[in-house]
Amino acid sequence: MSAVQVGEDRRTAKLKLAVGAIGIVFGDIGTSPIYAFRETFVGPHPLAIDDLHILGVVSLIFWSMTVVVSLQYVTILLRADNKGEGGTLALVAMLGRYIGDSKWNWLTVLLAVAATSLFYGDSMITPAISVLSAVEGLTTVEAGLSKWVVPIALVLLIGLFVLQKRGTTKVGTLFAPIMLLYFTTLAVLGVWHIFDYPAILVALNPWYAVQFFMIDKTLAFLALGSVVLAVTGAEALYSDMGHFGRGPMRVSWFGFVMPCLLLNYFGQGAMIIGLGDASAAQAIENPFFFMAPEVLRLPLVLLATAATFIASQAVISGAFSVTHQAVQLGFIPRLSILHTSDEHHGQIYIPLVNWTLMVAVILLVLFFRTSSNLASAYGIAVTGAMLIDTCLMGVLLMAVWKWKWWYAVPTMSVFFLVDGAYFSSNMTKVPDGGWFPLLIAAFAFSLLTTWAKGRRLMKARMAEVGLPLDIFAKSGRNSTAKVPGTAIFMNSGSSGTPSALLHNIKHNKVLHDRVVVLTVAIADVPYVDEVDRTEVLSLGDGFYRVVVRYGFMEETDVPGALKRLDNMCGGPFEIMQTSFFLSRQTLLPSEHPGMALWREKLFAWMMRNAATPMEFFRLPTNRVVELGSQVEI
């Protein structure tokens, strides 16, 4: 094959990935025009509908999209890939390899947990506000349909969550064409109204945003809380990098998505300025749908609803992916994780997350009733996560990329100023609904940190009373009877003797011919090369220590890993001749608890309700034996 053909094939593959990214990654930010521009004028702090405020808002949207999305995320953060994967947890895992076990590593981990906690609040609000805002477009077709908005939105949202267990492979093939049509429609509607009032293009000049602040300081600051709705979804670009790669995503953003979005925002501004006072006051209630002629308004509502459905699907899938990463990295207990596709390993379904999100979304719709009310709760989680990403980006520039301080400090100052202003403005929404994502984030943060600290304390306690495996192997063989077969004892640590092995000797007083102490280790990279997958150490007398390594994006499949060991452990493994021994710990109250009593009780509850290791490690249920022990932490 010639170099020219290879180049053409690469370009074709890159273009296909870019189109796929349009269908999946950009749904959240793509549906923002439905409500973002409107909220700056009819939200909790309404603005006067005049040229000064319209040009100021449009200019703020343009420069926010340029600085936050194009510069911070697409240009800089997409370069920060952890072996191809992006997202806050992936970034922190990468930073940990450079800054080691210093206090800064502890701080970056804490920031990542906070960002993950905020994400769960965002993942509840996004489907609710997106679908509700689209269905509200029906009122621009027929005002009498307003009483049906909430019921229709609820039916669509419940259907969305019910479909999750079927997977998104088949539905996903429809995503890209629908989103391509949707973004094209955004651009066409925008250009149509820009031609009616081309003077709107002066808003490209940042002076109009500055003038807005100079003349109306307080309202301009409060307006940032609504303007930021135009860039919600920027954090998803970074998280989804592993699915498409930075190159295709940049092509999608700069070549198609960003132009379409900006044309629509400028078109909305041009339409409102071009209308008279009375008409503008009516149109500003739903400017996105009033852009279309009356005869095309219903098709636009249907198209927007489909787009918000897809955007919600992407957020839910993102919640599954983030939860899977958090489980693998030790921040969340083992959960029941189902794989919905044999071809695409990243497509997973987590029932607990799905149904929790569904209940939360239903309650949000019933409580807030309108997308405008929900907009008051929206933004805090997103801007909080953006501010955390900015902090981590500062560590990245200085510790990993080794930027000179005279480059790094001015760059970070700009991003801190912009993201800090957005976050501060959104904090004013707390009494009007912003308390909800903060409450969810606080609850999630408590769960994640309690589980991580509890596991650390429990491992330390078990290590104190543990016996080195090499010493046990030398003494245990001659003091017990032997039985045929293979026994595999799962061990959470990379050293020491599993409590299940000690209890087996104590109560059953037998050892199998072959004893394998197996540890599943999760690396700080998304995927582990097959050559580095397993490590085997023979301790003599039929004892082996085996370490199986997985990346934080991979599935843990212990039987599959054992098949690849061949004769490294004294012969192949016959699963039906192998017994798996698991340790189950029961927590006891301690006179000197390692953490607050309420956290100890919470940790014990999480342990009791965690998924069984059989599911998580894919062990054959009829070959598993559990032995319990009691631990004080």
Q: How far apart are the first and last CA of the chain?
A: 63
User: What is the rounded average pLDDT of the residues 247-273?
Assistant: 93
pLDDT at residue 466 in the model = 65
User: What is the rounded average pLDDT of the residues 74-102?
Assistant: 81
Interval 556-575: pLDDT, tens: 888 888 888 877 787 888 87
Report the 3 state secondary structure along 528-573: CCHHHCEEEEEEECCEEEEEEEECCCCCCCHHHHHHCCCCCCCCCC
pLDDT at residue 622 in the model = 84
More confident residue, 573 or 416: 416
**Which range (403-412, 475-484, 497-506) has the least confidence?**
475-484
pLDDT at residue 261 in the model = 96
Please enumerate in sequence order all residues whose Cβ is within 8 A of that of 464, keeping only pairs 6 or more positions apart, or say none: none
Q: 174 falls in which pLDDT band (50, 70, 90)?
A: low
More confident residue, 587 or 618: 618
**How much is the mean pLDDT over the chain?**
85
Residue 79 predicted with pLDDT over 90: no
Interval 281-314: pLDDT, tens: 888 889 999 999 989 999 999 999 999 988 888 8
Q: What is the distance of C-alpha 350 from the center of its chain? A: 14
Residue 280 predicted with pLDDT over 60: yes
Phi, psi of 528 (to 5 degrees): -110, 135
Interval 323-355: pLDDT, tens: 888 888 888 888 888 776 555 555 678 899 999
Residue 47 predicted with pLDDT over 80: yes
pLDDT at residue 268 in the model = 95
CATH fold of the domain at 10-433: Amino acid/polyamine transporter I (1.20.1740)
**Which range (72-81, 242-251, 529-538) has the least confidence?**
242-251
- The DSSP secondary-structure symbol of 257 reads I
User: What is the rounded average pLDDT of the residues 439-459?
Assistant: 89
Burial grade of 586 (CB within 10 A; 0-12, 13-18, 19 or more) = exposed
Nearest to 542 by CA among 466, 491, 482, 583: 482
| Domain boundaries, given as residue ranges, for the chain | 10-433, 458-632
**Which range (57-61, 254-258, 347-351, 494-498) has the least confidence?**
494-498
More confident residue, 628 or 489: 489
Interval 96-136: pLDDT, tens: 877 776 667 788 888 889 988 998 988 899 899 999 999 99
Q: 55 falls in which pLDDT band (50, 70, 90)?
A: very high
pLDDT at residue 465 in the model = 63
Compute the distance between CA of residue 94 and CA of residue 75 in angstroms, rounded to an integer: 19
Nearest to 21 by CA among 167, 180, 153: 180
pLDDT at residue 616 in the model = 81
List C-alpha distances in Å: 24 to 304, 348, 454: 15, 15, 37
Compute the distance between CA of residue 445 and CA of residue 271 in angstroms, rounded to an integer: 44
pLDDT at residue 379 in the model = 84
What are the strands of the beta sheet with 624-632, ordered from one edge?
A: 534-540, 543-550, 510-522, 481-490, 578-588, 624-632
pLDDT at residue 359 in the model = 94
Indicate the helix (H) or strand (E) that contains 22: helix 3-24
More confident residue, 340 or 615: 615
pLDDT at residue 5 in the model = 58
Nearest to 615 by CA among 339, 412, 226: 339
pLDDT at residue 338 in the model = 79
pLDDT at residue 7 in the model = 55
297-328 and 169-196 helices, crossing angle to 10°: 130
AA identity, residue 252: S
- Please tell me which of 94-98, 187-191, 216-220, 494-498 the model is most confident about, judged by mean pLDDT: 187-191
Say how many CA atoms lie within 13 Å of 469 toward its Cβ.
Answer: 26
Compute the distance between CA of residue 280 and CA of residue 33 in angstroms, rounded to an integer: 17
pLDDT at residue 361 in the model = 94
Please enumerate in sequence order all residues whose Cβ is within 8 A of that of 209, keeping only pairs 6 or more positions apart, or say none: 56, 59, 60, 63
- Please tell me which of 377-381, 423-427, 524-528 the model is most confident about, judged by mean pLDDT: 423-427
- Please tell me which of 58-72, 304-318, 524-538, 583-597 the model is most confident about, judged by mean pLDDT: 58-72
Length of the chain: 633
Compute the distance between CA of residue 246 and CA of residue 208 in angstroms, rounded to an integer: 33
pLDDT at residue 477 in the model = 63
SS3 at position 624: strand
Q: Calculate what percentage of the chain has a pLDDT beyond 90.
A: 30
More confident residue, 87 or 414: 414
Question: Which residues make beta-bridge pairs with 579?
Answer: 487
Q: 4 falls in which pLDDT band (50, 70, 90)?
A: low
User: What is the rounded average pLDDT of the residues 186-207?
Assistant: 94
Q: Scanning the structure block, which residue is given the tokens 């001749």?
A: 577
Instruction: Report whether 70 contacts 258 (CB < 8 A).
Output: yes
AA identity, residue 509: K
Compute the distance between CA of residue 445 and CA of residue 431 in angstroms, rounded to an integer: 21
